[in-house]
Amino acid sequence: MHFEIVFFYCLILVISFIVFYKAYHWAPYFKLIHTPHLERHLHKEGTPLVGGVGLFLIFFLVVTLEIMVSGFLTADYMYVIAGALVLFATGFVDDRNHIKPTARLFAQIVAASLLVVGADNAVLSLGFILPGTALFLGDWATLFTIAAVVTAINAFNMIDGIDGLSAGLAAVVLCFVIALNPSFENIFFLVASSLLIALGVFLVFNLGLAGSKRKVFLGDAGSTLLGYFCAWLLIATHNEQSDFLTPIGVVFLLLIPILDVFSVMFVRLYNGMSPFKADQNHIHHLLILFGLTDKKALIIIVTLAILSGLLGLFHLQLGIAEHWLFFLFILLFITQMVIVNRAVRLKNNTNFS
């Protein structure tokens, strides 16, 4: 079995390399080219939006074959694939023609419902985020989990503003999933390791390590798929290892994108704007505003994601109760929301002066 898995890993490397290396040849045919035209766009040249195509090919073709050989292809997994297909198709169309936020949100809800209801992946409890009291969700479990998956999808999509960021944060999550499921016999290990290899190849091209003329982007299809996969793998792992990986621990494994999407959307609503209106108030924009380069901002954010993930994973072993970790999350959320709101007001004052 190990030989077969190694063969599939090699296949992943080859397919990923071909998809991304040849992107400038086939992406224009499908109109998957990002042309910067807005002030918030930090890149100035047209770039192929092929990350979603590569990830979906790897997941649907290679990972499915891998799981079939390993004996893990179940009805639940078919629902996971169906949800990924919905997200990929929506993102593919959005990368080509741009669709309305409401249409994107509807597709995300459908995909999340397939994952949660069809594949039976509901979070049943929020753990002991209140001192001495386990907070069970009861009849609200399915609705809460669907909302959580949609949040993760949008979090990875919205934070995809500089090279390597969304993919880098997803890679951190996948590493933690692998560490929690250290066996070739485990479906989550197989999926996470396969996606991690594909992401590694993508980052070589996305970060310009293969040359600036070979640069590629995730696109909406790619970033939303990353949020979907990370949500699925973490929720499913938590449901199997709830004594070790707590619900608030899962939140800290996704802390950076979750804090970013919540703070930005709340500030938009507070200032009378649509929560779906794109702006330059994400965490990477703020770091760049403070004088950091894109690469330094990337390193700092990914490092923070690793540290917060380690805290989420080992907080019980460190003697930190779940309710204290939840309190820290609320404190961090309020702090970031204040910072973002302050940045918005400073920008507005500068524009009017």
Q: What pLDDT shows up at residue 160? A: 92
Kindly tell me the sign of the dihedral angle through the C-alpha atoms of 94, 97, 100, 106.
Answer: negative
Mean pLDDT of the chain: 89
> What is the spatial distance between Cα 17 and Cα 20, in angstroms, rounded to a whole number?
5
Rounded mean pLDDT of 326-349? 86
Hey, what's the torsion of the CAs at 188, 191, 194, 198, to 10 degrees?
A: -120
Q: What pLDDT shows up at residue 184? A: 83
For the ranges 184-198, 204-218, 274-288, which has the lowest average pLDDT?
A: 274-288
pTM of this prediction?
A: 0.93
Question: Position 278: which residue type?
Answer: A
Rounded mean pLDDT of 16-32? 88
Give 331: exposed, middle or buried? Use CB within 10 Å, 0-12, 13-18, 19+. exposed
Q: How far is CA 144 from CA 106, 120, 331, in A?
A: 16, 13, 22
For the ranges 37-41, 45-49, 155-159, 298-302, which has the lowest average pLDDT?
A: 37-41
Q: What pLDDT shows up at residue 149? A: 98
Q: For residue 64, what are the contacts with CB-CB under 8 A and spacing of at least 6?
A: 73, 81
Q: Evaluate if residue 44 carries a pLDDT over 70.
A: no
Q: Kindly indicate the confidence band of residue 315, based on its pLDDT and cuts at 50, 70 and 90.
A: very high
Q: Evaluate if residue 88 carries a pLDDT over 80.
A: yes
Rounded mean pLDDT of 219-227? 95
Rounded mean pLDDT of 34-58? 72
Task: Report the SS3 class of residue 210.
Answer: coil
Rounded mean pLDDT of 119-127? 94
Task: Report the SS3 class of residue 125.
Answer: strand
Within 10 angstroms of residue 148's Cβ, the number of other Cβ atoms is: 22
End-to-end Cα, the chain, rounded Å: 67
Q: Kindly indicate the confidence band of residue 3, based on its pLDDT and cuts at 50, 70 and 90.
A: confident
In the chain, pLDDT over 70 holds for what percent of residues?
95
Higher-confidence residue of 93 and 268: namely: 93
